[in-house]
């Protein structure tokens, strides 16, 4: 099956710093990748849809200037949390779709646990 990786797996940073999270599709090309956030004991919340070569589409309530998304190639999307604060501490998960219809089956990365002190 298709594999999606994320790096780093976990990160601890000081308040006010920026953190970059990478999402890679290892053995397939993904024109669309999705970024989710999950707080403890809550469901996944879609943050944005990342499209290769164009601007990301953000969900309502997600600050595009705070969560910068760059989908530079068909196998890599990055999420940068700028000026992170403790309330940004969460589990960030990306997913990518394979095939003509990217929703037919999404493959999830293992997630990145961010802790902001």
Partner 1 sequence: GQNIDQPTEMTATEGAIVQINCTYQTSGFNGLFWYQQHAGEAPTFLSYNVLDGLEEKGRFSSFLSRSKGYSYLLLKELQMKDSASYLCAVINSNYQLIWGAGTKLIIKP
Which residues here bind partner 1, judged by CB under 8 A?
34, 42-46, 91, 93, 103-111
Q: How far is the CB of 18 from partner 1 (least distance, A)?
A: 23
Q: How far is the CB of 16 from partner 1 (least distance, A)?
A: 27
Angle at 106 between CA 63 and CA 39, to 5 degrees: 45
Name which of 14 and 60 has its Cβ closer to partner 1.
60
Distance between CA atoms of residues 84 and 9, nearest Å: 17
Q: Which is nearer to partner 1, 40 or 86 (CB)?
A: 40
In the complex, the smallest distance separating the C-beta of residue 82 from partner 1, rounded to whole angstroms, is: 24
DSSP assignment of 11-25, as one string? EEE-TT--EEEEEEE
Say how many Å lie between the first and final Cα of the chain, rounded: 37
In the complex, minimum distance from the CB of residue 83 to partner 1, in angstroms, rounded to a whole number: 26
Q: Which residue's CB is nearer to partner 1, number 45 or number 82?
A: 45
Q: Is 68 helix (H, G, I), strand (E, B) or coil?
A: strand
């Amino acid at each position: 099956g298709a594999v999606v990786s994320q790096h780093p797996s976990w990160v601890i940073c000081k308040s006010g710093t920026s953190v970059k999270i990478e999402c890679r599709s290892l053995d397939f090309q993904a024109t669309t990748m999705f970024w989710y956030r999950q707080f403890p004991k809550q469901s996944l919340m879609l943050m944005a849809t990342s499209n290769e070569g164009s601007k990301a589409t953000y969900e309502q309530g997600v600050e595009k200037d705070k969560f910068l998304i760059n989908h530079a190639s068909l196998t890599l999307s990055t999420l940068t949390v700028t000026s992170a604060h403790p309330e940004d501490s969460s589990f960030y998960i990306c997913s990518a779709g394979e095939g003509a219809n990217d929703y037919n089956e999404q493959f999830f990365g293992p997630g990145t646990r961010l802790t902001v002190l």
